[in-house]
Amino acid sequence: ENTLMFASDYPHWDYDDANTLQIPPAWRSKIMGLNALEVYKRIPRAQAANAA
């Protein structure tokens, strides 16, 4: 849960939809963005929350 990050795999057209993942709800926000914010600390959390 603390090491997974979402990746779009752009520009490939075939993909696995992130909305169909069978993950605990508590993990979703971490995987979809919070883990990346921990790794790449250059984006302030308030700015990232407003962008979502």
pTM of the predicted model, to two decimals? Answer: 0.52
Residue 33 in tokens: 């963005």
pLDDT of residue 50: 64
1-51 pLDDT tens trace? 777 777 766 776 777 776 777 888 888 888 788 888 888 877 666 665 565
**Position 7: which residue type?**
A
pLDDT of residue 44: 67
CA atoms of 26 and 41, how far apart (whole Å): 21
Identify which of 3, 36, 41 has the alpha carbon closest to the alpha carbon of residue 52.
36
pLDDT of residue 36: 83
Residue 30 in tokens: 């971490």
pLDDT of residue 5: 75
Identify which of 37, 41, 33 has the alpha carbon closest to the alpha carbon of residue 6.
33
pLDDT of residue 47: 62
